[in-house]
Amino acid sequence: MKKKFLFISFIAVMAWGCGGGGRQSGELLGVAGRGLWYQPDPYGMVYLPMGSYHMGPSDQDVPYTQTAQAKTVSVQAFYMDITEITNNEYRQFVRWVRDSLARRILGEEVSEDYLIMVDNYDEEIDPPQLNWDIPIEWESDEQREALAQMFYPDHERFYRRKRIDTRKLNFEYYWIDLRQAAKKTNREQGMTDRSVFIIKDIISVYPDTLAWVHDYTYSFNEPMTRMYFWHPAYDNYPVVGINWKQARAFSIWRSELMNSYLYRNGGIMINDFRLPTESEWEYAARGGLDLSPYPWGGPYIRNSNGCFLANFKPMRGNYIDDGGFHTVIVTSYSPNEFGLYCMSGNVAEWTSNAFDESAYNFAHDLNPDYLYDAKDSDPPALKRKVIRGGSWKDIGYYLQNGTRTYEYQDTAKCYIGFRNVMTFLGRSKGDNI
């Protein structure tokens, strides 16, 4: 009997010491069952290692604007789109918004099957989620009648062509104002209602195709307005006519698209897609070639064969001398040392930062980031956002890595596009071994 008691006691001690990943041993061993995790490279993006570089002009300040001073800054590792966002990629966003609106209409007027009303625990979802498993039958009589409200009314149609009313393609999205939440007054007051920091916005997602016309006077660009965004000939050209808020909305949609997929399939969510900070953009453009005026290195805009290295306005306005005219396919010309295409020329690119002439003087040297969320009622000076890289209609000065300029966040231009970045999870690749 005594031996049996000792044996049972021994088993209990072993269970105490080994069970629960150290929970019963009194030792600090961490939570059990958490294996190594490696971040896969997002499709169409390239990894940029953390680094320090000299940010700012590496050549003379031609217009003497004095908006940038050289300083050493450091940025953490991140991913960046290899190319500018194309028309076809942005069209996926537009069609998602279109199909979302259609499903909501069909769920309310035709069948609730287009909406998910309860979750896996039979609890009501308010508001309902969209059911993407059921396709939309645009040509069925019942659905066509319900979806008629999505199209232009008869008196607005051109030659009676039935087209989606792009004014109704609005995207409702949310973002968290972490900087407001981090303010000392908010932290000390012990606010428990986090909803005050969740910002809701609604934005029209369709590009301003008329930008090709209203950006210029006495210039024939009507064919670009009619065809550029939707025609397959321009699928791989950079999307333009996108204002800053639309670019931000696209980034948030892209983040939710990816993280929702990972969540449904038991994966772990990743960092959000977003617009690059000004310092990230310049670091990426330099391609590891510190102090180089251009992404390809060296002080020249032509290669050894005399060919131009970017799509811009060469000479005194010979637009075709560089092989382009307006925009060109996003993989035109050679990539820089990081593998990024058209960091100079083709289209200028939105960054996440607000523009201030003296930002380099007060911004931190660790991931510099100057933000201001301008309201509609704010004066125009507060709505300036930094754009980088120069475009097909700019002279060579604006192609330089250190040149900075701005455009207003609520304006869309035919020479401004964007690309996304994503902060790498960890210090660097291979650091979690």
DSSP per residue, 366-424: BS--------TTS-GGGGEEEEES--TTS-GGGGSTT--EEEETT---TTEE---EEE-
> Helices 244-264 and 87-109 meet at what angle, rounded to 10?
70
Strand locations in 183-239 (E) = 198-204
Mean pLDDT on 220-236: 96
Q: What is the DSSP string of 136-199?
A: P-TTSHHHHHHGGGGBPPGGG-STT---B-GGG-EEEEEEE-HHHHTSHHHHHTT---GGGGEE
Q: For the domain that residue 76 is a member of, what is the CATH number?
A: 3.90.1580.10
Q: Which residue has the higher pLDDT, 275 or 198?
A: 275
Give the span between the Cα atoms of 15 and 240, in whole angstroms.
64
Residue 371 located in a structural domain? yes
Residue 391 located in a structural domain? yes
Cβ count near 216 (within 10 Å): 12
Residue 232 located in a structural domain? yes
Model confidence at 332, in pLDDT bands (50, 70, 90)? Answer: very high
> Over the chain, what is the mean pLDDT?
89
* Lowest-pLDDT range of 9-13, 154-158, 296-300: 9-13
Mean pLDDT on 215-220: 94
Give the span between the Cα atoms of 74 and 72, in whole angstroms.
7
Residue 433 located in a structural domain? yes
Please give the tally of structural domains in the chain: 1
DSSP β-bridge partners for residue 385: 354, 407
Residue 352 located in a structural domain? yes
Question: What is the tens place of the pLDDT at every residue in 170-190?
Answer: 999 998 888 888 888 777 766
Mean pLDDT on 208-223: 95
For residues 424 and 79, the answer to whether their CB atoms sit within 8 Å is yes
Give pLDDT, residue 192: 66
Question: What is the tens place of the pLDDT at every residue in 79-136?
Answer: 999 999 999 999 999 999 999 999 999 999 999 889 998 887 888 888 888 999 999 9
Give the span between the Cα atoms of 402 and 67, in whole angstroms.
10
* Lowest-pLDDT range of 127-131, 216-220, 255-259, 347-351: 127-131
Model confidence at 32, in pLDDT bands (50, 70, 90)? Answer: confident
Residue 296's H or E segment, with its range, is: none
Residue 171 located in a structural domain? no
For the chain, how far is it from start to end, CA to CA, in angstroms? 50
Query: Is pLDDT above 70 for 3?
Result: no
Express as a percent the part of the chain with pLDDT over 90: 67
Residue 261 located in a structural domain? no
Range of the domain at 70: 43-86+208-238+280-433
Residue 62 located in a structural domain? yes
